Structure 1
C-alpha cells in the first residue's frame, strides 16, 4: 500500500508537500489533492492511496494559519449571505496553486491533459478556481463538500476554452457548513459553462465519509484512465 513520504519543503516549490511513496519513476498522470481548513496534507491521502500506482499523487500543505493556527489556503468567514472570502488571499492561493502544478508537471514530465486537481471544502474550491481560470493547466477537477468559488467568476476563461474539462461534485445533504443548495448551484453553473460533470448527493454533513471517498476514487479511476 502506498504511504505518504517525507514533507518536501517549499524552497523549490510553491507549496510544501508530500508525495505518495513509492513514487513512480515516470508517472503517467498527476493528481493533486487539496485539504480543507483545519486539516493538513494527509487528509486526502487515503484517496490517493487507491489510485493506480503509475499516478503521481501530490499532497500540498496549506501555508496560511487560520482561526487560531488551523492550516488553510485563505481566510473566509460565514454570514447570512454565505461565505465571505478574503479575496486577495484567495487570489494569491490560486496563483500559487497554478505555479505548483506547473512545477510538478515540468519536474515529472506530466502534461496538463493528464493532470487532475481535487479537494475537500476550501481545497475543492481552490481546485475549481484553478480549473476555471487556467483550464489549459488541467484536465479535470473535483469538489468534495465544496462550492463553485464566486470570487473567481469574473476571471473565468471563455466557455470554449472550458469544453475539455470534466468535473465531479460530491456533497452531503445535511451539510450545515456549506448547505447542499451550494452543490446544486455548482451543478447548475457547470451546466451553463458546458462542462461535463457529475453530481452526487448523499446523507451526511460536512465530512469526508467513506461514501464521499468512494465516489471520488471511482470517478478518478475513470478520469485518470
Structure 2
C-alpha cells in the first residue's frame, strides 16, 4: 500500500517545498504554508494509509488550492522505519479484526492535533477539511461524523465507515447543516471494495450531508482524475 498515487506527473511530487515539526504537537507532520497569505487561512489536513507516512500524500499540495494551509500528518503507531498506522489490523484468523482502542486513541490525537494547529497557525475554524486515503480516509470519517463542529467537510479517498467508532458517537443530524463530503473510490479496488464507498454515501445522505460522490475505473489508489475532482471540490468550499 506504499505506492498509493499513480499518475504521469508523479516526479513533480518531489518538488514541494515544506517544513516539518514534531515539537509541542501530538502528531509529527509536514506543512505547506498558504501561497495566498491571509490572517486566518483555511486548513486541509491529510492523513495517509496504513504502512505509509506523512510524505505520501504531501505531494498533492502542489495541485490544491493555494489559499489553504496544508498539513500532512503521520499516524501515531509505528510498524517499521518509515511505516505507520492509525490502528492495527489483524487478518490471522482470515477475518479482518480492527484494534478499536488504537482507532479511538488516534481519533483523540487528531482532535487534539487540530487544536494545536489552531494555536500555532490560527487557521479559519469555519473552513477545516480533514481528508485521507484508505485508513486515513477511515479516520477522516471518524473525525467528521463524530465531531462535525470541528470541521467544515471531509475528503474520503478509498475508505469506509468504521462503525465501531462512529456509531456510538455519531453526531445528531442537525449538526451537519453546513457540512460537506467528497467521497471517491476505485471500482477495481481489491483492498476495500467499492461497496464500502456506496454504503458511506448512503449514510452521509441519510444525515442530509451534501456529498460529492465519485467512482473511477481504478484500483486502491488516487488517480489523476480523482485528484482533479477533489481539487475542484476543495476550491468550491466557501
Q: TM-score when scaled to structure 2?
A: 0.85
Of 183, 207, 214, which aligns to 1:200?
214
Aligned to 2:9: none
2:162 aligns with 149
With over 3 angstroms needed to count, the CA separation of the structure-2 counterparts of 1:99 and 1:3, relative to structure 1, is: same
Shift of 1:41: 1.1
1:85 aligns with 2:104: no
After superposition, the Cα gap between the structure-2 partners of 1:198 and 1:81, relative to the gap in structure 1 and judged at 3 Å, is farther
Q: Is the alpha carbon distance of 1:180 and 1:102 closer, same or farther for their aligned partners in structure 2, counting shifts above 3 Å?
A: same
Greater mean alpha carbon deviation, residues 48-57 or residues 197-206: 48-57
C-alpha distance in 1 between matches for 2:200 and 2:80: 27
Q: 1:169 to 1:79 in 2, by over 3 A?
A: farther
Deviation at 1:162, TM superposition (A): 1.9
2:55 is the counterpart of 1:42: yes
Q: Which runs of 5+ in 1 are unaligned?
A: none
1:1-225 to 2 correspondences below 5 Å: 3-9=16-22, 11-21=23-33, 24=37, 26-66=39-79, 70-78=83-91, 83-151=96-164, 152-223=166-237, 225=238
Distance (Å, rounded) in 1 between the aligned partners of 2:134 and 2:144: 16
Aligned length: 223
* CA RMSD of superposed structures (Å): 2.3
Name the TM-score, length of structure 1 as normaliser.
0.90
Q: Structure 2: how far apart are the matches of 1:125 and 1:79?
A: 21
CA distance in structure 1 between the aligned counterparts of 2:92 and 2:193, rounded to whole angstroms? 13
What residue ranges of structure 2 are gaps of 5+ in the alignment?
Answer: 1-11
Is contact 1:4–1:21 with CA below 8 Å preserved after alignment?
no
Question: Residue 34 of structure 2 contacts residue 69 of structure 2 at CA under 8 Å; is this kept in 1?
Answer: no
